[in-house]
């Protein structure tokens, strides 16, 4: 069969296009791994599951990178990672366990050791030095515990402090979130007084408690990881998430009940003081927040709105401005009920949310110059059932975006 020159040219062009397409597909570059904690996967295990996804460096799209592994317990609710990104910790609410995994260069997880608590863990954080794991636990009481880490392995509790409402020590306290300063000098934990926050129920004082519903406790870290006496600060009605900026100057808290973001300056001695022009409006039912690794932007997941609010931080004062969200937070739409949010550390260019009712992760591309967000390719990405937490680690030799303002 003979081909005309035009036909030959077409054939060569088609083959070239096919080869280019295949090469492009093979040249996907993984910049991060996203680990997602779900109550279950497609398997039959009753345990929670940790699913591993690779992040494409160009599009931010997620693809499965490793088979899912058991979280080592039931109902995983929180995750934390060491600053060298070699160790992952997962808190399982049912069974009261925190499980340590090592992270391989290809994103594979290996279960190494487990610690069991008297009460269910709610939130966890690791200091930048990788020497202590802080666990906030309790169902009707709140306790902050410091566990020493040795090459990632969890040791016996080094220090522990109870968190009770000032003047109302008998009230029911619900812990929600914890963060540790980059310099490791203090830990801040968010709780609310359920005896004072009970929507739809009339509270009679003083027998039912009349304390302020929302609180943040500041705890200094001393020699040998010793936790100091907690100092209580008012924090709205129902604080749900907490984060500190990388310069150790500001702490931010989301108030789930009042649809607001509360900001504090960190004074001498790690004392907190309200930002004078706050609090700041969020979407409905803000569930979590994250400060980008450069310390320039804040991103808040709004559970009821299924959206992400974006704020630029005025570096001199710590004030969050919504100027980066010129069309309103609803433009950054997620799947239903986002409950966790992260920024990738490798490039500082991608934001991801764990969507509990959507059984998915939503992705956004972050403009590092303006803080604005745009949906990543093919978002959202399916996960196991009811994802409750997620975390990101850089892959390979990519530089880490920890530039401080």
Residue 9's pLDDT is: 40
The pLDDT of residue 398: 47
Q: Do residues 88 and 113 touch, judged by C-beta distance below 8 A?
A: no
Q: What are phi and psi of 307, to 5 degrees?
A: -150, 170
Residue 152 CA to residue 387 CA, distance in Å, equals: 25
- Give the pLDDT of the chain (405 residues) as one tens digit per residue: 444 544 444 443 344 334 333 334 445 688 999 999 998 654 455 789 999 999 999 999 999 999 999 999 999 999 999 999 999 999 999 999 999 999 999 999 999 999 999 999 999 999 999 999 999 999 999 999 999 999 999 999 999 999 999 999 889 999 999 999 999 999 999 999 998 877 766 555 555 557 889 999 999 999 988 999 999 999 999 999 999 999 999 999 999 999 999 999 999 999 999 998 889 999 999 999 999 999 999 999 999 999 999 999 999 999 998 767 655 544 699 999 999 999 999 889 999 999 999 999 999 999 999 999 999 999 999 999 999 999 999 986 544 554 444
Residue 321 has a pLDDT of: 87
With beta carbons less than 8 A apart as the criterion, state whether 121 and 136 touch.
yes
pLDDT for position 3: 43
Question: What is the model's pTM?
Answer: 0.89
Residue 375: what pLDDT?
95
DSSP 97-139: EEEEEEE-TTS-EEEEEEEE-SS-EEEEEE-TTS-EEEEEE-S
- The sign one gets for the Cα dihedral 174, 176, 181, 182 is positive
DSSP 8-state assignment for residue 20: H
User: Starting from the edge strand earliest in sequence, which strands make up the sheet with 49-56, in order?
Assistant: 62-70, 49-56, 30-38, 389-394
d(CA 283, CA 305): 6
Domains and CATH numbers, the chain: 30-394 (2.130.10.10)
Count of beta carbons in the 10 Å neighbourhood of residue 21: 10
């Amino acid at each position: 069969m003979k081909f005309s020159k035009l036909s030959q040219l077409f054939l060569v062009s088609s083959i070239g296009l096919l080869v280019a397409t295949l090469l492009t597909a093979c040249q996907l570059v993984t910049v991060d791994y996203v680990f997602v904690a779900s109550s279950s996967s497609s398997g039959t295990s009753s345990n929670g599951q940790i699913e591993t996804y690779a992040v494409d460096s160009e599009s931010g799209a997620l693809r499965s990178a490793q088979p899912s592994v058991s979280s080592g317990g039931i109902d995983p609710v929180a995750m934390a990672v060491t600053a060298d990104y070699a160790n992952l910790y997962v808190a399982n609410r049912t069974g009261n366990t925190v499980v340590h995994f090592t992270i391989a260069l290809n994103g594979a997880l290996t279960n190494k050791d487990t610690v069991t608590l008297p009460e269910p863990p709610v939130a966890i954080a690791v200091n930048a030095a990788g020497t202590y794991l802080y666990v906030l636990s309790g169902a009707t009481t709140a306790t902050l515990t410091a566990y020493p880490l040795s090459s990632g392995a969890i040791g016996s509790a080094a220090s522990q402090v109870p968190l009770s409402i000032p003047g109302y020590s008998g009230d029911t306290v619900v812990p929600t979130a914890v963060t540790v300063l980059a310099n490791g000098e203090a830990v801040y934990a968010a709780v609310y007084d359920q005896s004072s926050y009970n929507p739809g129920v009339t509270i009679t004082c003083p027998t039912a408690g009349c304390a302020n519903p929302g609180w943040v406790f500041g705890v200094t870290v001393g020699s040998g990881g010793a936790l100091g006496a907690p100092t209580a600060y008012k924090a709205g009605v129902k604080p749900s998430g907490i984060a500190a900026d990388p310069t150790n100057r500001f702490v931010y808290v989301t108030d789930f009940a009042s649809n607001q973001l509360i900001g504090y300056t960190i004074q001498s001695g790690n004392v907190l003081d309200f930002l004078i022009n706050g609090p700041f409006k969020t979407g409905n039912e803000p569930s979590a927040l994250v400060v980008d690794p450069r310390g320039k932007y804040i991103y808040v997941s709004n559970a009821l709105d299924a959206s992400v609010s974006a704020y630029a931080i005025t570096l001199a004062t710590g004030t969050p401005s919504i100027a980066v969200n010129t069309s309103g937070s609803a433009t950054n739409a997620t799947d239903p009920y986002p409950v966790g949010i992260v920024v990738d550390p490798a490039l500082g260019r991608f934001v991801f949310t764990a969507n509990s009712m959507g059984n998915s992760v939503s992705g956004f591309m972050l403009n590092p110059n303006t803080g604005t967000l745009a949906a990543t390719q093919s978002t959202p990405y399916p996960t196991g059932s009811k994802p409750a937490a997620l975390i990101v680690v850089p892959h390979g030799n990519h530089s880490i975006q920890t530039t401080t303002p």
